[in-house]
Amino acid sequence: MWFDSWSDILRVLAVGTAAYVSLLVVLRLTGKRTLAKLNAFDLIVTVALGSTLATILLSADVSWTEGITALLLLALLQLVATWVSSRVPRTRAVLTSEPTLLLRDGRPLEDAMRSQRVTMGELRQAVRSASNGDLGQVAAVVLESDGTLSVIPASSYGNGSAMDGVRGS
């Protein structure tokens, strides 16, 4: 339970180092989006990469080659999914959620907040975090596809072209 053998420790050190270096290479080859905080699909891939790395490190039943194949497969599937979603608009809705307007011209949109499970306290916190003390001076708060809240002050709203594609705008 506390210690099995030195060979197990040496395996973790050797395979762990090789798997770590391999993961870094895979991430550099696949680009920034693989670990970006963009949407639920990206989060799933990030968690799966971490879980795969842990399995490679700790399971003697999984060879380094099998583990690297799994890492490459996850990265390849991520690339394919993002390539398809950026070129075939209908597939985008399957992989990503649409941004939702939660506040318009200082007034909370209660139906949108309820459907997105966002509280008034969370909305106020986002406004405060954006250095605003008055909801009336906020043109819009958008729940983005990655779960963040974007606050657009009335003074920065302009023609509102950034709101294209936001549900409820």
| Residues 55-81: tens digit of each pLDDT | 998 898 999 899 999 999 998 888 888
Structural domain boundaries of the chain?
A: 6-94, 100-163
CATH code reported for the domain at 100-163: 3.30.240.20
Nearest 5°: the CA angle 51, 56, 61 is 120
Measured in degrees and rounded to the nearest 5, phi and psi for residue 157 equal -65, -35
Burial 42-57 (b: 16+ CB within 10 A, else e): beebbebbeebbeebb
Mean of pLDDT values over 32-48: 71
| Residues 119-130: tens digit of each pLDDT | 999 999 999 999
Q: Is 132 exposed, middle or buried (0-12, 13-18, 19+ CB in 10 A)?
A: middle
Report if pTM > 0.85: no
- Least-confidence region, from 18-27, 89-98, 101-110, 155-164: 89-98
Strand, coil or helix: 53: helix
